[in-house]
Structure 1
């Protein structure tokens, strides 16, 4: 069996080598962002493919081009056509590649749970069959991306990225060499090894230019600008962002142009050049509308229409089957004098009908499963729209804040932070499998990050200790709003003329209760002051009794039963 698998792998690699030159040329057009030429090239060779393997490779490559153009409906159609041919020829190598490609398709749309399922299917094939190096490079590269963007585990990212780089270097796969190195450089950035990250990003930009990898160059520039901002090289970051905008516009990279425009807006805003910032904010809104229309509306509309047509066709098919069955029954009744023959034919017809309907039931179940997946997809798109709208509200409030004085903007700043807290909760809910519970550590850590700029501006040190607790969505919302309100009050009122400013927060648990403890090193509440009304109302909603002390600054705490 082992020798048979080895022989199969050699045979496939020989076939792959024959097809590779044709597919490789088309992929180079894709790397250079010549999408129209690439589509025409792939369609030309699809008209008369040399063999089934080449046909499948061309279909998958063409689907990749449509994915880059945000034409997800066409991309999906070509992926499914390729999968159908793969099942017909029973090729494990190409089935493995298909699952890897589908994983990247879902990653592009931030559907990470679907991405996990596709990579698991590819992993099951890898356990049973040897896979060629080109496909392994792609597989480990997507595993690295998954652990960067979804699981957020740097060590695993490095392991898979280095594996991908090993295979990609072995076969000189420039695209996978690039993205494997990019994942490794992103780990450097997350670990705040900024100099090393900057050097690697600059090397990758040069590598992309040398090999005419247009999309790759745009992708790495996003990371390069981010790390320049973290390294406080603001002027250089602004210069690179403006140049990247022009580059993306030249090559019609709408997604990247949108990202670069956001960066330019944020940099001008940080430099307090509000007229310039507003100019790019307006342009960003225009790009967002174009991008959103391409990415969502067109695909969803065509998808819904497609399934309406399919449903009508299924109804017509069922009626036709019913008419055929009635016709067969009438014909059987007319042949009464052939009693024996009639019984035989009836038994045969029944047997065929049972086999047919069993087969039809199996197909229907598959169709229902597919429709269920599409419903989940549509729900995800609705959540994505809600999240975009919340972010747009936050941006509009930030623009208003830039137009008014600091004293007038304090109340609006409080509202902004509370909206951001709700938006963070919504994001955690719709990205989670469990829509009724939220992980306290991830949620409250995100709220802490949202305050980091304000803490830094006011010279406030923080010490947050948060245990991982699965809390209901309602309790999580009030905890988030409560922490937001307490932080805002401390920033605004606690520190008058103090050099040492510190905010401490703990969320811990035991077998029965979880404990909320918040304190600051400020002046505390005066003895005759009125208890904060909003905090009082939120505690009433949580049904808890809280304690406020002023011994060493302000201290707020309570415990609540953990169900």
Structure 2
């Protein structure tokens, strides 16, 4: 053999061995059971590899995933997805991990499997890391459903998930709703679980009341928390942890009462030492202790010492505490630097915080867009599969039609040669018409794609602005704006963008209104029962959309203003007689706070929709009777 061929073949041989080894490495890790859960013994610790090695194996796992049929080889596909997810989490590429987490839920029967709990938890943590509160709330509902199905696997006990929902409401600034949710669902139930669980819930509720400036309630719940932790009641978490939580809540009490005195400084220093030494995984407690000590030194004008502890708090809390807490620490640091006559350094720290805030919010928005892209790709995939099925049926029909056409043409050729040319002209005309029709359908789909994308972008911008402001008054306005946009988006998605209805004219009223009303109920913390009667009524989009906007405004008005004790009942009845639509809307509120501002946006929208459909509206107490005319209907 020629020596030069030998040196050429050997590298190829070793390259093939390396590629084979890397594929086997992917295939033998993250094997899954029939319920899609990962077999623990096959999990892999990516921390033992270099970054370049993780990137190499992650690339190979993606290549391997592409070779799999996700329906026939679903379990192998889930294993490959788990490999990619964990590799990207080790690389801190959470946005990429999020894409593959959603892909895991799209595998056959994965959404209702036991493994879906792990996938939803990991999605929740990704959104939690970026403080994406809407994304977190979206995961709680499927976790509640799956938890009861699989015997509360992986911390899906009702008490734990209710605590998460309460925390998200509080973090979003809905303090009034959060306080009601805590008192209704968490305080009594947590007392049955464990004294530490009750103490944590009570302390969190006290912090919520601090935001509402209800001092008596703050004192009540914080003292209750301290009292139960000082009692002899045992905890499953042990005495040391019980005392640690007790001291943490005491430190909160000192802060609230502004007891920045020497003995409390010593208490905070001892607590900080205990937190760092024995409970280092709970960084937020050490951050709070440093914050307390730094504030003490600031108030006693020992600015250099104060700066040291605030810097430590910022270092410990980086990427681990909320944006609000980070802002408090930075603002205190800037005040300290001003006192030390370090104005230039103070300005740099202000710019540093602004950059940090923009980066955090940008990550939040990026994850929103990632989720939107995943949903879009999933929808496109479903459409492609449906089109492939329709094309297959169409090909069979065309084949049969062609055979019949040939037979007819043979007969016609034998007897009527002159009509052959005419038939060809007709056939060519039909093909041209068909081509033009398909082109128009394609343009319509493209237009709908763009409208859907623009609506999603508008919603993202509204959410972005929502988290930028702190005033509850303006937050409520942005929430109302988001609901109105979602109503229009729901109409577009159901009435126009749906592949089944792209050429249709009439649509189901009840299905459309259910989507709007259920969305309002889901974001409300009130106990609501909806009775919607709109059986067998189909309307065109020009009539349906104003009705959807009208019902959205009336129901939002009820949820905001209706006063009731335990349960708010909303009744909606819709009937159609020829071209006349009759709507009766009422709620069970005992009394009703009516806005005196007749020029409010909600009232203007209601009147505009009624005027658009040439209708009338009358109201007696909380009951509305509305008559409307069908618009652009063939029934008239």
TM class by shorter-chain length? 0.3 to 0.5
Decide which structure has the larger Cα Rg and report it: 2
> Greater helix percent: which structure?
1
| TM-score (norm: length of structure 2) | 0.39
